[in-house]
Structure formats: structure tokens, C-alpha cells
Structure 1
């Protein structure tokens, strides 16, 4: 297994309507769902965008979990490239989308006096990471060679997928 990250913020002392309005304006081109209950407000926003430098589609997903009583909120952002662009590469489109999200959240927090904290969130990905090029792929049993190695689908170098940290 290999790790990847997602942008996560913990915010306290916020005005949830201001946050939801800003996220709705920026991130709801494909989907906007907000659920209100006496104890919580949950929301999901999805933005579908064309990344001009790669001519590919990208989705940016934002999830909001707000505890009404404590007036605290967790906001997460994950950018997902479609991969159908120029040469099928992303050229950092996901990082750019996540950077835009960070600037929005931090700007809102500073403007409105909210307390915020960036929280590195890690999730396990199923697959093996090539030690040579860093590509992550899944390898079915028929792709494992007699000596226990696999060949990277990106750089074609052999490596042992089971001897990595976290796998």
C-alpha cells in the first residue's frame, strides 16, 4: 500500500452560511447538496472544470461536516483529473486546484476572524509503488514473475511489491 494526501481543514468560530455560500459559488458547477439537521450541517460540492494546460476534464470534490453545537467544521478537498487530456498527463492540475482551495479557506478565515488549522489527511491506496519512478499500480497474480518481482507499468523496471513500507 502507498499513501496519498487530501486537503483538510478544521475551522472553529465560523459562520457556516458564509462558508457554504462561498463554496457553493466556487465549487458547485456539477453537484451541490446540503443537509441541515439540528446537530449537524453536511454538504458536498463538485466542480467539473476543463484544465486548459492539459485540455483535460477535472473534478474537484469538497466535503463539509459542521457540528452546530460546537460551531466547528471539517472541510476536505480532493481534486481528481480525468486523464483524457494532452498526452494523458495532468501537469500538476490537482495541486493547482488544491492550492486554490487552500487560498479560499485561509482567505475566508482571515477575513471573518475564524480559527483554522490545516490537517494532513492520509489515505491508503491499494497498489504497489515503484521505487524507481514512484508510479502506483495494482498487479494481479499473473503479473508477478517467478522471482516474486513485477515490472513497473510506467518505467518497466523490476521491483518487489511486497517489501515496501506500508504494504
Structure 2
């Protein structure tokens, strides 16, 4: 749902406490984040940034890198059982390639309840509310458009969907509004 405070963030629910889908399998590693891009996106700086942010928050991140084929994402989600999938894209094709990716993951019997987030430059000319809603309808739990990304909102969502590593090294902690990472 789009809100006046965050018009570029769409969520599949009004209730923040209910944003995490119920999980069927106990083998899911809620501390692990699988990070990837879409198949046509050759950019890596966004992936490095998101990986460093999530690791600073105490998560174990498996970064599949740029130009990630859909089949590899599905296979790695099945193999590693992450607590959340984060798709980051900056080439403007997230809307086009994100929908079939979400549908493929939701169709898989072992991934039906996997929390999924997509964000970045989702359309070459920006992203409209209907475009963002189509990504939610395809299966993403949250969509972050680059026109106004709220870092605190993103980190709070990841914290709700997963748990950070309890024994993370010093300096790894949850960010809260008004704090810095160190």
C-alpha cells in the first residue's frame, strides 16, 4: 500500500506486523539474505552497497551478483533457504523482469512463502503507482522505487522479515532512526 509519508514504497499489507508471510519450512535460515539483480542488469555497485548495509545490520548475505538469471535465483533460493530475497536493480527494467521472477518463485512449492523485496530503478521513466502495484500483485512483499527510497523503512522491513545474526561482530547492529552505523 502506498502512503502519503512514503509514496514510492508499496507493501502487500497495511499491518507492518503482518508483513512477513507465514513460513512452512523450519529449515529456512532467517539470518540469511539472498541478494541479486535481474538478468539484464549488469550494474554491481548497488549490490555491493546493499550487501554492506545488510552485513552491517548483522545479516549473512549471499550476493549472486549482476545479470542474475531467473533460474539461478530460484535454484539458490531452494538450495540456501534464505530468510528473505532482496532484488536490487538500477537499469530501469525491474518492472519488466521482476514480475516473471516473482511469479516463478511463488509457483515453486518450496518458495511459495519466501519473503521477497525488490527495489531500485524499476522503470526507465520512473515507476507509477500502478506499476509498483503490479510487482506486489506478482508476489513481492514490498517494492522500493528509487524516486524516494527510505533507508530506515527498508531496514525495518528486513528486520521484520528476518532476524539478524545474534553473534555478529562488534559494529553489526540494527539501525534505528537517528542513529549511525558506528
Query: TM-score w.r.t. structure 2 length?
Result: 0.26
Report which of the two structures shows the higher radius of gyration computed on alpha carbons: 1
Q: Which has the higher helix share?
A: 2
Q: Which has the higher strand share?
A: 1
